[in-house]
Amino acid sequence: MEELGADYKIVEHHRDAQTNRSQEDMFALHPIAKAPAIEVDGRIMIESGAIIEYLCEINDGKLAINAGEKDRSAYLEWLHFAEGTVAMPMLMALLGPRFGGLDKLPLMKGFIDGEVSKLLDYIDGHMEGREFLVGGEITGADINMEYLLELGNLVGLLNERPNAKAYLQRLMARDAYEKAIEIGGPLTPTG
């Protein structure tokens, strides 16, 4: 919202301190109590990629590569790659220690570690010589990817991936990012 320069109101919800699960106030909004969530036309919309795509669309295509424009397919692919492909193995790797570690499940650990490595290497290679994922300006795809890269960076997963790390640092140096952190607080390894 800061990158769009759009007006918004944040409604803060907290997770249960012991389970890290959503509390009843989120379930009152949506049956699966997921965040982020926005209110659109009197209903709660979830799914980060869909939210970003929708917000770009209703803000005159700002932060998007729109239908008919060069790199539209690459933009959509990267926009949805973050949540559709990167999120599951990344979050499994990050949450594993919280549940006693993946070392007790060697097949799962091997799969998750290999997948995270492959995906981060792919992003790192893609970012060589680029400022943003697609095109010459920030898009919703960069915003969706930032969260997962920041989580990975918090636990050292970008230390050997200089292009991805420099990309993340550029995103985090943006005025809109700094304003968002000022408002919402810094990211923690548990999200």
User: Given pLDDT bands bounded at 50, 70 and 90, which one contains residue 52?
Assistant: very high
Say yes or no to pLDDT of 191 above 50: no
> 13-29 as b/e, with b when 16 or more CB fall inside 10 Å?
eeeeeeeeebeeebeeb
**Cα–Cα distance, 157 to 76 (Å, whole number):** 25
Q: What percent of the chain has pLDDT over 70?
A: 98
**Cα–Cα distance, 112 to 31 (Å, whole number):** 29
CA dihedral sign of residues 173, 157, 133, 146: negative
131-144 pLDDT, tens digit each: 999 999 999 999 99
Query: What are the structural domains of the chain?
Result: 72-178 (1.20.1050.10)
CA distances from 113 to 102, 106, 117 (A): 10, 10, 6
Residue 189, pLDDT score: 61
CA distances from 179 to 25, 64, 161, 187 (A): 26, 21, 27, 13
